[in-house]
Amino acid sequence: MTFSFSFFMTEALLLFSPDSSPIQRFSHKIKGRYHWILQALATTCALLGLAAIFYNKHLNNKPHFATWHGLVGLLTVLFAVMQSLGGVSLLFPKLAKGWSLAKLKRYHSASGLVGYLLGCTSLLLGMSSLWFTTAVHSLGWYLAALCPILSALVIMNQVTSSYMTKKRFQT
């Protein structure tokens, strides 16, 4: 699940960055297709990770979703699935009757940002677990915690500057 949110989802969002996209010269439509593929991989990995964790908890007779990390992680995976289903309306805008493409993109990006921040929060909560804090000490923990924090700040800046501020009053 960590790989899902920290790599696939981050890369899927950075595809639209004017500064750091590996496919910067491609059209927005092509970027959208790559975004869709990476998000599908992220959601699939998240669901597989959730299934593996659920099965492991079941085998070891441990309680399910007993920590904040588990609860926020479950909410994040469910949110990612719903966000992916909502993204289909951008692939096929005729399915969303009564909604302009600009509104769909704005709502998809805003709710996607919320989902990404949930993922970063879940990562940080996982890094606060007893297992992680005993395995990773002092400076290593702070460096590991910086990764989702900095990623969240970069993605927040990208989404808010691309969709929220300039296009706020457009429909």
pLDDT tens per residue across span 30-62: 999 999 999 999 999 999 999 999 999 999 999
Res 28 pLDDT > 90: no
End-to-end CA distance of the chain: 36
Res 107 pLDDT > 80: yes
C-beta separation of 143 from 168 below 8 A: no
130-145 average pLDDT score: 94
Q: What is the pLDDT of residue 12?
A: 93
Measured between alpha carbons, how far is 92 from 90 in angstroms, rounded to an integer? 5
C-beta separation of 15 from 34 below 8 A: yes
Q: What is the pLDDT of residue 68?
A: 95
Question: Residue 30 corresponds to which tokens in the numbers above?
Answer: 């092509």
Mean pLDDT, all residues of the chain: 90
Instruction: Tell me the whole-structure pTM to 2 decimals.
Output: 0.89
What is the pLDDT confidence band of residue 170, given thresholds at 50, 70 and 90?
Answer: low
Mapping DSSP onto H, E and C, the string for 35-47 reads HHHHHHHHHHHHH
Q: What percent of the chain has pLDDT over 90?
A: 64
Q: Which of the pair, 90 or 143, is modelled with greater confidence? A: 143
Length of the chain: 171
Q: What is the pLDDT of residue 108?
A: 92
Taking only the tens place, the pLDDT of each residue in 140-168 is: 999 999 999 999 999 999 999 887 665 55
C-beta separation of 77 from 122 below 8 A: no
What is the pLDDT confidence band of residue 89, given thresholds at 50, 70 and 90?
Answer: confident
Measured between alpha carbons, how far is 10 from 92 in angstroms, rounded to an integer? 24
Q: What is the DSSP letter of 94?
A: G
